[in-house]
Structure 1
Amino acid sequence: MVHIVGAGCGAPDLITVRGVNLLSKADVIIYAGSLVNPKLLDYANENCKIYNSAKMNLDEVIEVIKDASEKGLDIVRLHTGDPCLYGAIREQMDKLDELDIAYDNTPGVSSFCGAAAALQAEYTLPNVSQSVIITRMAGRTPVPDKESIRSFAAHNATMVIFLSAGMTEMLQKELIAGGYKEDTEVAIVYKATWPDQKIVRCTCGTLHESAVSNGIKNLALIAVGDFLGNDYELSKLYDPAFTTSFRNGSSKATNSSEEQR
């Protein structure tokens, strides 16, 4: 059995309980060494064989899995964050299907969640943004034309940008050309939840300068949008005048609110 496991966003205690249990029982672990915190390997048992996939290509990864599977061994494929985002797991699962090797998926805490926690922020604020665009700049790996940063920027929604910290000059231009104002707030979050986490707050107009002056070229998410500001409306969910399926709203609360205004 192959268990594809999300390692979480950095801190070793942000992996799921299921993920820890699978690591502790695994005979073989193949981990994404360029991104996964090596401290997570402390959960492995002393007899486990460990491979760093940063030094392997797809065929080599599958060959290790195939060999271990034929021996009846339990295998964990450990990916950073949640592997459903930029994890390149579809191609691995397709290969496993071809080989008739069983697998399952265990989700993890994505780095975009870790970044929000580091910022003590909420991406979806009433009357500010109710949508989160998760995307990346086109680089050595292309992005479909209809999914360009510029086209997404036209929405002025919350945007979380992966894999683009080394392209901030072009990113800044695309964000502004697409519709964000130069003074729209931006946060660069380097290695969210790791011990050396770093947060740089800036604006769309100062994004590139801020990244360069802080020496940030990789391993960072870039969050853009008015959710980083202080203006928003209170949620209806906890409004005493708002009726839900669990409680009835109070007209007295409405009158009281109006009197306070």
Structure 2
Amino acid sequence: MSATPTPNVYFVGAGPGDPELLTLKAQRLIREADLIIYAGSLVPVAMLEEAGPECRIVDSSGLTLDQTHELIRDAARSGHRVVRLHTGDPGLYGAVREQARLLDAEGISHAVVPGVTAAMAAAAAANVSFTIPKICQSLILTRLDGRTRVPELEQLRRLAVHQAALAVYLCGPSHQKLARELLDGGYPPDTTIIAAHRVGWPEEDIQRLTLDKLAKTGAKPLWERQTIFLVLPSQELATSSRLYAPEFEHGFRKNEKNQTLQ
């Protein structure tokens, strides 16, 4: 069996915007790259500070898919290391699939390096948890309708039946529609909402409000399309995990009663 060839092309998750949230692998690949292609409208230039002095850096925000592919293909065929730097995690609301298909058609090996997605970065910045013991144990990552349609079964009013925590991407200017969909779907008006914009950037803006207030909030200058909204049911309830309770027994610890009997 032949060995898997070392990729020349890496789709790298840049995370939400804080260079310190890059993975160690992402940092290494940026240092080793001969060509870095990044979306200047989404990825801050601070992510590129460790690129080598000979590295060619291209902002893809004004390029088409074919133009971007040509740059990657030509560099890879010349034996150069290419980093395609994507905001957040490449597997979520990215455009990796169509780029990868073009590379596969030409026999160019590639790999994906995950990054911190905005939902997790926003929860950390707001000091909240998506899950609450016995109350909320599921998280749904989704978005509102836009230029790309959302399937009917995945409309927010349909997802609301689960009463799960939500992370809703790409809907900053449509926050009132977001609120109406959630209220119509059955989320209580006092449901906690975290509105997070530019998480990890110098202009980071994290706001905490309730669903009914979100429905009445006018346009916010900072709530651009990339704003993410965290929907957190029963966030204010004081509940605790059973994992560390004295009577909770698992493979590494006996409960207090069993310890007394031994």
Sort the TM-score into its range (normalised by shorter chain): over 0.9
Quote the Cα distance in structure 1 between the aligned partners of 2:149 and 2:187. Answer: 23
Gaps of 5+ in 1: 254-261
What is the TM-score normalised by the length of structure 1?
Answer: 0.92
Output one character per residue of 1:26-47: Cα deviation in whole Å (capped at 9) or x when no partner: 0000112211121011111111
Secondary structure of 1:201's counterpart equals strand
Find the counterpart in structure 2 of residue 42 from structure 1.
Answer: 49
- Map 1:112-123 → 2, pairs under 5 A: 112-123=119-130
Secondary structure of 1:212's counterpart equals coil
Q: CA deviation at 1:230?
A: 2.5
Aligned residues: 253
After TM superposition, which residue ranges in structure 1, 4 or more long, deviate above 4 angstroms?
A: none
Secondary structure of 2:194's counterpart equals strand
Cα 1:208/1:215, change in 2 over 3 Å = farther
Output one character per residue of 1:76-108: Cα deviation in whole Å (capped at 9) or x when no partner: 010011111101111111111111001111111
Quote the Cα distance in structure 2 between the aligned partners of 1:42 and 1:63. Answer: 25
2:60 to 25, 31, 53: 53
Output one character per residue of 1:153-195: Cα deviation in whole Å (capped at 9) or x when no partner: 1211101100011111211110101110122111101111222
1:235 to 218, 223, 241: 241
- Map 1:12-31 → 2, pairs under 5 A: 12-31=19-38
Higher helix share: 1
Q: CA deviation at 1:226?
A: 2.2
C-alpha contact (below 8 Å) 1:186/1:225 kept by paired residues: yes
- Map 1:182-193 → 2, pairs under 5 A: 182-193=189-200
C-alpha contact (below 8 Å) 1:156/1:225 kept by paired residues: no
Gaps of 5+ in 2: 1-7
Quote the Cα distance in structure 2 between the aligned partners of 1:17 and 1:101. Answer: 24
Secondary structure of 1:181's counterpart equals coil
C-alpha contact (below 8 Å) 2:176/2:217 kept by paired residues: no
Residue identity opposite 1:13 in structure 2: E
Work out the percentage of aligned pairs sharing the same amino acid: 38
What is the TM-score normalised by the length of structure 2?
Answer: 0.92
Cα 1:231/1:252, change in 2 over 3 Å = farther
